[in-house]
Amino acid sequence: MVEIKKKFKAHGVTPSIQRMLIYQYIEKERNHPSVDMIYSALKSKAATLSRTTVYNNVSLFVEKGLLIPLLTKEAETRYDLAEPAHSHFVCLKCGQIYDIPSMRCQSGCVPDGFRVQNTQVYLQGLCSRCRNNE
Ligand SMILES: [Zn+2]
Ligand SMILES: [Zn+2]
């Protein structure tokens, strides 16, 4: 919790118990959760927690640079820690999102005068579990 408080402070987020629970869940599980997944996991721990509270807090975390929203084909947004930077492998069969080492574009991958601020690379395919069950 002390580490989380420090991180919040560095990003200008005021700590609250619910905020810390939400961030701690995402950091610990590393499961790229949706708002619903976070809510279901935490509702027994925080009686006053609502879906709206979870949504508002993850939105704040995104705004403050602590989380990134992932681009998935599902309608529901999934969230991930902004740091450390890494890329993703999305399984087309089971939909699981796997962390893979960060893939960055080299200089020259965008036109002259453009500036890259954030790189999200997604590889798509079949994960080993799905391949073995083919
Ligand atoms: Zn799979
Ligand atoms: Zn990730």
SS (H, E, C) the chain: CHHHHHHHHHCCCCCCHHHHHHHHHHHHHCCCCEHHHHHHHHCCCCCCCCHHHHHHHHHHHHHCCCEEEECCCCCCCEEEECCCCCEEEEECCCCCEEEECCCCCCCCCCCCCCCCCCCCCEEEECCHHHHHCC
Tell whether 20 and 40 lie within a shared domain.
yes
Calculate the CA 35 to chain-centre distance. 11
pLDDT tens-digit readout, 17-61: 999 999 999 999 999 999 999 999 999 998 899 999 999 999 999
Distance 131 CA to ligand 1 centre (A): 7
Which residues surround the ion ligand 2 when the cut-off is CB under 5 Å?
80, 99
Distance 64 CA to ligand 2 centre (A): 18
Q: What domain range is 99 assigned to?
A: 87-132
pLDDT tens-digit readout, 125-134: 999 999 998 7
- Mean pLDDT for 63-68 is 95
Tell whether 45 and 11 lie within a shared domain.
yes
Per-residue pLDDT for 105 more than 80? Answer: no
When divided into structural domains, the chain yields a total of 2
Tell whether 7 and 69 lie within a shared domain.
yes
